[in-house]
Structure 1
């Protein structure tokens, strides 16, 4: 199949969930399909990473995305029915390039990652696969509910309303949808009963890559938080961890250290560590395996957003015990008390971390069970095989 893939990011380096997903799917689909990649970059220096993808793609074209908080974006979002998220990723240059590309007549289908890439696709008879990496309006809604500035809230709620409208519109417009979990699939079907076929193609993890690095625990009890901070639910989660949970842990585990790892930590997150030597904001690390290598437990107090979380899969792939909210492990087949300890309040999360610090056998059992789960159901080769089958079905439909 000849496929035109559209992504809102360059799938390298592997610092966000979307980049990890797209890179590994491209890697595992190489040789089976001819893929042309059109994607956004934020900074010109990102062009240096194109070489890491050239082996997997026949052609790669990148387009500069406008910065978020420009007067143009804000005014267009405020005085139109386009949400800020969609305004950022709308580009006449990209639209013209896509129109010209599909005009060659060589493509069997279009693969779009995220609904906000869809407005760039011109009217076409080509079948379109839309990948729902996360249900965007739910993540932004939860963030808005917890936002503390009452003057800003009406703007946020209005933006959420617009996101929901367009997200559901493009769900209906796509030839086929791909969700990250069965829970997401059911939610979409409930919202839009007459939507077309929905497949589940979950996120995965490069198990061999993570198994190359073995555990090296230190004298400190390392509690690890992982997440890119360009994603609002991660910002919300780490703020909750520090302000609501951490004191309960450090009071009972004096040698505990909190490592906050992830791309683009905000100044607010950096400030959380001020005056507390037990909190270390590491930001982006060159190799995420080095963080898991020293971690006694991954703590994931996720309260909003949908999709599946790479941090959970990576923790299981590195034999790292997990303490998390129900939402953080949703859709992964995790049984509370078997592959992870689950709680949905600050005291419960703290208590379960403290329990693991005192019960090494429980920690080993959770790690072993998690490792078995991720090996069985979340390796990229089997996930890519499922996407390969969908490509063949959808592409064949477009030819009939």
Structure 2
């Protein structure tokens, strides 16, 4: 099967959840299908990273994406029906590039990651599968309600209205919608009753698979993320200012590590005598793995909704108990008190963390059950096979 895959990023290096998902699936799908990758690159992407993807793809077409916050993007959004998230991907000739490739490529299927890439796709009779790794209007809707810049909230709210309109437009237009969690699928089906939505979950990261089955109880608390995203900088701030001080009072030996890519100025200011801000390069996979294996507890006070968090799957794979919110636990099928610990408020989360760090039997139970959950439900091979079966179903239905 010839597949045109459209992604809003270069999948390599897989430093973010979306990149990891696309990278793993392309590697596996390319064993049976001819993949042409059309992707948007960032300024930090290198020719070597592009060439790496050519190992798996029949063809790689790179569209350079400029800076996000420019006057041109802001004005384009203000005078356009599209939200800011679409405007920042605008590039000279992008529609012509896609139109030419579709006309010449003789493709069986178009696979688009995220609905905000679809405005640049020309009309075509080729079946389209849309994968919503998360519902972006939910994330930005959360930001519109909680952003500290009160003057910014009305502009965000208008943008979210645009976002919701176009999400629903493309959900209706494509041949199949896929989400990564049953929660997101249920939300889409509630908005558009009768729409078929398949769930193809995320898997554990490549460097986190096949880790040793070893309990490593200690009092180092970890949070990992890419701090370009609101859910990560919000979680880091809540953890350092509202959760960790309660834990520290009960367990004086506790330490906190906030690790990951692109920490913001505000995140860096959270550093203190017992709080380490550990900045990791996009390609520092060893640093990521090491952070998980040397920590004793993963806490994710996440309140921005959507998708599944690969960071939590990674912690489970590393046999480190996870304490999070109901929203943070979405998409795993993990059971509170068995394979995960769930608290509603920062105080609840802190109390759960203290309890599991003090109770060795509970700690071991959560760690072992979480590892079993990851091993049985979140490996990439069966995930790839499920996506491949949807490919075949859509293509054969179109031909018949």
Shared fold per TM-score greater than 0.5: yes
Q: Say whether residues 1:231 and 2:229 are aligned partners.
A: yes
Q: Which residue of 1 aligns with 2:82?
A: 82
**CA contact 1:321–1:366 (8 Å) conserved in 2:** yes
Any unmatched runs of 5+ in structure 1? none
Report the Cα distance in structure 1 between the residues aligned to 2:114 and 2:340, rounded to whole angstroms.
Answer: 29
Q: State the Cα distance separating 1:395 from its structure 2 match.
A: 1.8
Q: Say whether residues 1:39 and 2:39 are aligned partners.
A: yes
Q: Say whether residues 1:317 and 2:313 are aligned partners.
A: no
**CA contact 1:90–1:119 (8 Å) conserved in 2:** no
**CA contact 1:225–1:261 (8 Å) conserved in 2:** yes
Q: Give the TM-score normalised by structure 2.
A: 0.95
Q: Say whether residues 1:201 and 2:200 are aligned partners.
A: yes
**CA contact 1:77–1:83 (8 Å) conserved in 2:** yes
Instruction: Please state whether the residue corresponding to 2:328 is helix, strand or coil.
Output: helix
Q: State the Cα distance separating 1:44 from its structure 2 match.
A: 5.5
Report the Cα distance in structure 1 between the residues aligned to 2:186 and 2:216, rounded to whole angstroms.
Answer: 40
**CA contact 2:20–2:205 (8 Å) conserved in 1:** no
Match of 1:281 among 277, 284, 308: 277
Q: Which residue of 1 aligns with 2:345?
A: 345
Deviations 1:192-250 (A, max 9, x none): 1243x2110000115785334575958x6110101111221111111111221121111
Q: Which residue of 2 aligns with 1:270?
A: 268
Describe how 1:153-302 pairs up with structure 2 within 5 A. 153-195=153-195, 197-206=196-205, 209-212=208-211, 217=216, 221-273=219-271, 276-284=272-280, 286=284, 287=286, 288-302=288-302
Report the Cα distance in structure 1 between the residues aligned to 2:146 and 2:261, rounded to whole angstroms.
Answer: 23
Report the Cα distance in structure 1 between the residues aligned to 2:181 and 2:119, rounded to whole angstroms.
Answer: 25
Q: Say whether residues 1:132 and 2:132 are aligned partners.
A: yes
Q: Which residue of 1 aligns with 2:95?
A: 95
1:44–1:254 distance in 2 versus 1, CA, 3 Å: closer
Report the Cα distance in structure 2 between the residues aligned to 1:320 and 1:217, rounded to whole angstroms.
Answer: 7
Deviations 1:150-195 (A, max 9, x none): 2111111111111111111111111100011111111001011243
Deviations 1:319-359 (A, max 9, x none): 11111111111121111000011101011111111112211
Moved more, 91-100 or 313-322: 91-100
Report the Cα distance in structure 2 between the residues aligned to 1:156 and 1:208, rounded to whole angstroms.
Answer: 36
Instruction: Please state whether the residue corresponding to 2:11 is helix, strand or coil.
Output: coil
Report the Cα distance in structure 1 between the residues aligned to 2:88 and 2:333, rounded to whole angstroms.
Answer: 35
**CA contact 2:211–2:318 (8 Å) conserved in 1:** no
Q: Which residue of 1 aligns with 2:5?
A: 5
Report the Cα distance in structure 2 between the residues aligned to 1:205 and 1:69, rounded to whole angstroms.
Answer: 32
Measured on the aligned residues, the alpha-carbon RMSD in Å equals: 1.7
**CA contact 1:130–1:177 (8 Å) conserved in 2:** yes
Q: Give the TM-score normalised by structure 1.
A: 0.95
**CA contact 2:215–2:319 (8 Å) conserved in 1:** no
Report the Cα distance in structure 1 between the residues aligned to 2:145 and 2:20, rounded to whole angstroms.
Answer: 29
Q: State the Cα distance separating 1:12 from its structure 2 match.
A: 0.9
Q: Which residue of 2 aligns with 1:65?
A: 65
Instruction: Please state whether the residue corresponding to 1:66 is helix, strand or coil.
Output: coil
Q: State the Cα distance separating 1:92 from its structure 2 match.
A: 3.8
Deviations 1:115-164 (A, max 9, x none): 11101110111111000100111111111211122211111111111111
